[in-house]
Copies of this chain bind each other. A is one copy, B any other.
Amino acid sequence: MYKIGIDLGGTNIKAGIVDASYHIIDEASVKTLAHRPYMEVIDDMANLVLSLIQKNNIPMEDIEGVGIGSPGLIDAANGIVAYSNNFNWENVPLCKELETRLQKRTAISNDANCAALGEQKAGAAKDCKNVIMITLGTGVGGGIIIDGHIFEGGHAGGAELGHTMLIANGEPCTCGRKGCIEAYVSATALIRDTKRAATKNPSSVIHTLCNHNLDNINGKTVFDAALQNDATALTVKDNYISYLGEAICDYINVFRPDVVLLSGGVCNQGEALTQPLNEYIKSRCFGTDKAFIPPVRIATLGNHAGTIGAAALLE
């Protein structure tokens, strides 16, 4: 038996056939063209799934169902995208529409939740039952796995770990508040802080690394500059570790999981990121040495986490 995982993104719809061992045996994608009427997007999702199944010569009765990871505010219990800013969707009955087209059981969750579930089933947390995963991208997505299952919150709009306070009245956040974790630890925030620091410090090596055009700065620049012992970069990097370290302590104090996973482009830094974070949280989590302090690890499945996790929703 196989399951289909769909990773519905703002740019592409990706679908994968996932086997019982959580391997993706084949995958395909089409453009989302998100601002069309939602029925057209759902038509394309269904057609993508059908063509992928046909291409692999899998009988429809061997497909258990279809799981979907979607951005936005998801009402998982009712299979509805309650609200998606990316798609300009409101109360779209995605599961029902896809069931009608495919005659298969469906399930849905937020894309960050699916990525966390994928890592728990087959990635960096596969030895763990309780997992917090933070995706450090344009924004900050959070996935909470309790006892092997996604925790959605009691109503749509829970598990938004990036939208808890780090510095009240601080940097503006995309959610409308000021000072959320997202506003300090997203890749966007790291790039903002690198640019600001470079602007204030004309002699920083950051200027050389970005060819004297601050628009070339990305989430890697500050780490590269720090490797050259650039004082400006070291300060930005240390601040970033502190922000992220405080955020991780918060998640540990609330969920006390088996492991905290990080994903997103910034995580290409690997141990340069996890080593100082593991050190930082050691003395700061509630209870310090009297309580279990979970390790911080980098997620390993990359873009496949969402597809695998979406398929695993059907369990």
Contact = CB atoms under 8 A, between A and B. Distances in A.
A25 interface: no
B258 A154 contact: yes
Contacts of A168: 166-167, 242-243, 246
Interface residues of A, number: 52
A32 interface: no
Contact of A283 (B163, B167, B176): B176
A151 B151 CA distance: 11
Interface in A228-264: 242-243, 246-247, 249-250, 252-258
Contacts of A20: none
A101 interface: no
Contact of A153 (B155, B159, B254): B254
Interface string A145-182: 01000011111111111011111100000011101000
B176 A288 contact: yes
Contacts of A152: 256
15 contacts: A73-B287, A73-B290, A146-B154, A155-B257, A157-B256, A157-B287, A157-B291, A157-B292, A158-B253, A158-B255, A164-B250, A164-B253, A165-B167, A168-B243, A175-B286
Interface of A: 73, 82-83, 90, 129-130, 144, 146, 151-161, 163-168, 175-177, 179, 242-243, 246-247, 249-250, 252-258, 283-288, 290-292, 294
